[in-house]
């Protein structure tokens, strides 16, 4: 039975999350993930990384990051053989619950333009694509 919980920062959990992302997340056009990055996230915002877990195994993830200004959703992913069963929607709902409890006014998600399956999902979750913005990036 699937349940949802916050990720913890034990080395085992962090490597399970990294492995899960390699096989199941959107990995194009972005820097590689690392244990240090997950540890930094957990230090900064310990309630951001939410997992869907089946028995002891990770089957879904989302980061509901709060930077004090906006809510940002990252690393939404569901295990490939468990998609289209509503797990993605439940992860997003949990993330939105967190944002509501923090009084966040606006939430966004970065989605690659060619990830059309994900577009359908975000649309189904009630998100609206804004075509009049582009992302501008730089390594600090």
Ligand X SMILES: CC(C)(COP(=O)(O)OP(=O)(O)OC[C@H]1O[C@@H](n2cnc3c(N)ncnc32)[C@H](O)[C@@H]1OP(=O)(O)O)[C@@H](O)C(=O)NCCC(=O)NCCS
Which positions from 48 to 77 touch ligand X by CB under 6 A, shown as an x/- string?
----------------------------xx
Reading the block at residue 116, the tokens are: 């059309």
Question: Do strands 49-54 and 57-66 pair parallel, antiparallel, or not at all (unpaired)?
Answer: antiparallel
For residue 111, state whether it binds ligand X (rule: CB under 6 A): yes
Quick check: 135 binds ligand X (CB under 6 A)? no
Q: Per CB under 6 A, which region of 4-12, 15-23, 108-116, 126-134 contacts ligand X?
A: 108-116
Pick the binder of ligand X from 35, 86, 100, 102 (CB under 6 A): 86
Residue 20, Cβ density class (10 Å: 0-12 exposed, 13-18 middle, ≥19 buried) = buried
Residue 94 touches ligand X, criterion: CB under 6 A:
no
β-pairing, 71-78 vs 107-109, is parallel
Q: Does 88 bind ligand X (CB under 6 A)?
A: yes
Residue-by-residue DSSP string for 25-87? S--TTSPPP-HHHHHHHHHH-TTSEEEEEETTEEEEEEEEEE-SS-EEEEEEEE-GGGTTSSH
Nearer to ligand X, 46 or 86 (CB): 86
Binding residues vs ligand X (CB under 6 A): 24-26, 76-78, 83-89, 109, 111, 115, 117-118, 120-121, 124
């Amino acid at each position: 039975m699937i349940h949802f919980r916050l990720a913890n920062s034990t080395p085992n959990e962090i490597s399970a999350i990294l492995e899960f992302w390699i096989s199941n997340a959107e990995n194009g056009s972005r820097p590689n993930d690392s244990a240090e990055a997950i540890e930094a996230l957990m230090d900064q915002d310990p309630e951001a990384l939410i997992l869907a877990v089946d028995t002891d195994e990770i089957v879904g993830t989302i980061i509901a990051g709060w930077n004090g200004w906006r809510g940002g959703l990252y690393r939404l992913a569901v295990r490939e053989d468990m998609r289209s069963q509503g797990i993605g929607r439940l992860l997003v709902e949990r993330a939105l619950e967190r944002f509501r409890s923090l009084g966040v006014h606006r939430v966004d998600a970065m989605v690659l333009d060619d990830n059309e399956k994900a577009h359908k999902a975000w649309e189904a979750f009630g998100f609206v694509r804004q075509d009049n913005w582009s992302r501008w990036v730089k390594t600090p």
